[in-house]
């Protein structure tokens, strides 16, 4: 039997989940994949394991698999073999994340995984399924069932262990409790749990988990209408972590965070590190949530911003002109530029796009235009 490629034995995601650069992880994985295909063939178990790990890395950055059916077929093959936990976990996590984003049946994926885990006596995989099911229930607004399952798992012996039972995959019970608090409209309780986790030394070694915790914290701060601390947390996150390589969590946390992120990006310099790292996340949000799409040329001039604010208030062209002490033709000129930059053709569409993308909120924060009475 041929020897397994050494780079694959290192487990690509070991580096990623311990805070290393995901580009290095991907490079190691590609080297292992090439060697597997050359020495063992494209359909070999080791080749499928390498592809599974790489697809999880790519998905975290926002790149969906070109062939979604691969995730199912690979799990089916590896689930009947003596596979490592990591590739199986990668396949399950990737399939569930895609299903939740697409509004597909994520629970069927978990049920099938449970059957494979029970048949093979993969206890770690069963524990992962439990954690993923809670997250699925919370993301689909089934908070009562999620709360009952959290209560049940809280008493499990492995939930109290210092090390994560699923080798850094799946949200810890404390994180799920924080997410439950947010769903129930209890941001203070969520913040207490999140701050306790973020203050731990071990979280710094887990980049994806650190990013998710910080995004939950931003959501909690926004629920408390703490705009400045929320902005500070996002900027700190972008400065301290390569969030441009971990874009998918920004999509998964919903429209409220997306709108706030759009407003933040509008208000910072395009040459800054924060902008460069957050821009890919904004772009991915636009691809997954069309109404939140952020126009590439959405940076309006001060005059265009003032016109847009008055447009939202329902002022006619003559009223806008009188308010700003400009001519009707100048108002029309500004409106034409606004329509072009927002990629719309009507006043109503411009207002809708500016609201949902966070553009209006950013204009008000930056220029204090909310105080204008017209």
DSSP secondary structure, 154-186, as one string? HTSGGGGSSS-TTTT-S--HHHHHHHHHHHTT-
Q: Which residue has the tokens 């957050």?
A: 278
Q: Which residue, 14, 64, 16, 47, is CA-closest to 207? A: 16
Q: What is the pLDDT of residue 319?
A: 95
Give the DSSP letter string of 328-373: HHHHHHHHHHHHHHHT-SSHHHHHHHHHHTTHHHHHHHHH-GGG--
Angle at 249 between CA 248 and CA 251, to 5 degrees: 70
Q: What is the pLDDT of residue 63?
A: 92
Q: What is the pLDDT of residue 43?
A: 79
Q: What is the pLDDT of residue 326?
A: 95
Eight-state DSSP code of residue 4: P
- 362 half-sphere exposure, CB direction, 13 A CA radius: 25
Q: What is the pLDDT of residue 16?
A: 45
Q: What would the pLDDT profile of 313-369 be if each residue is shown by its tens digit? A: 999 999 999 999 999 999 999 999 999 888 889 999 999 888 877 778 767 665 543
Q: What is the pLDDT of residue 158?
A: 62
Q: Whole-angstrom Cα distance, residue 353 to residue 338?
A: 11
Please enumerate in sequence order all residues whose Cβ is within 8 A of that of 227, keeping only pairs 6 or more positions apart, or say none: 221, 365
Angle at 209 between CA 121 and CA 49, to 5 degrees: 45
**Alpha-carbon distances, residue 16 vs 109, 234, 263 (angstroms):** 25, 21, 30
For 176, left (φ over 0), alpha (ψ -120 to 50), or beta? alpha
- Per the CB < 8 A criterion, the answer to whether 317 and 330 are in contact is no
Angle at 103 between CA 99 and CA 105, to 5 degrees: 60
Q: Which residue, 18, 4, 1, 8, is CA-closest to 206? A: 18
Q: What is the pLDDT of residue 373?
A: 39
Angle at 92 between CA 209 and CA 108, to 5 degrees: 125
Q: Which residue, 112, 45, 126, is CA-closest to 82? A: 45
Residue pLDDT tens, the chain, 374 long? 344 444 444 444 444 444 445 554 554 455 666 777 777 777 788 888 888 888 998 999 999 998 889 999 999 999 888 778 888 999 999 999 999 999 999 999 999 999 999 998 888 899 999 999 999 999 998 999 999 999 998 877 665 554 453 445 778 899 999 999 999 999 999 999 999 999 876 676 788 889 999 999 999 999 999 999 999 999 999 999 999 999 999 999 998 999 899 888 877 877 889 989 998 998 899 888 877 766 544 568 888 989 999 999 999 999 999 999 999 999 999 999 999 888 889 999 999 888 877 778 767 665 543 344 34
**Which helix or strand (DSSP H or E) is residue 119 part of?**
helix 106-120
């Amino acid at each position: 039997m041929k020897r397994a490629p050494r780079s694959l034995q290192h487990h690509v995601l070991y580096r990623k989940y311990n805070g290393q650069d995901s580009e290095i992880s991907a490079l190691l994985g590609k080297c292992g994949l090439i060697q597997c295909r050359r020495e063992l063939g494209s359909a070999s178990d080791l080749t499928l394991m390498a592809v599974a790990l790489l697809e999880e890395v790519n998905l975290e950055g926002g790149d969906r698999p070109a062939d979604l059916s691969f995730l199912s077929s690979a799990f089916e093959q590896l689930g009947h073999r003596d596979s490592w936990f990591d590739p199986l976990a990668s396949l399950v996590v990737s399939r569930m994340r895609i299903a939740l984003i697409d509004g597909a049946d994520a629970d069927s994926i978990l049920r099938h995984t449970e059957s494979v885990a029970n048949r093979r006596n993969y206890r770690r995989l069963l524990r992962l399924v439990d954690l993923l099911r809670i997250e699925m229930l919370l993301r689909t607004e089934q908070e009562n069932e999620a709360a009952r399952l959290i209560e049940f798992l809280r008493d499990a012996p492995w939930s109290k262990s210092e090390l994560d039972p699923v080798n850094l995959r799946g949200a810890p019970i404390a994180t799920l409790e924080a997410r439950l608090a947010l769903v129930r409209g209890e941001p203070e309780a969520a913040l207490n749990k999140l701050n306790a986790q973020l203050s731990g030394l071990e979280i710094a070694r887990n980049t994806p988990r650190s990013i998710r915790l910080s995004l939950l914290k931003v959501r909690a701060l926004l629920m408390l209408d703490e705009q400045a601390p929320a902005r500070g947390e996002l900027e700190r996150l972008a400065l301290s972590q390569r969030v441009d390589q971990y874009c998918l969590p920004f999509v998964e946390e919903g429209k409220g965070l997306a709108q706030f992120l759009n407003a933040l990006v509008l208000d910072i310099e395009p040459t800054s590190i924060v902008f460069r790292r957050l821009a890919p996340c904004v772009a991915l949000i636009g691809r997954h949530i069309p109404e939140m799409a952020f126009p590439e040329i959405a940076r309006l001039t001060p005059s265009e911003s003032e016109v847009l604010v008055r447009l939202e208030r329902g002022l006619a062209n003559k009223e806008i002109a009188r308010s700003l002490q400009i001519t009707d033709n100048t108002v029309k000129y500004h409106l034409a530029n606004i329509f072009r930059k927002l990629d719309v053709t009507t006043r109503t569409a411009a207002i809708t796009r500016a609201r949902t993308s966070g553009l209006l909120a950013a204009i008000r924060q930056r220029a204090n235009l909310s105080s204008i009475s017209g």
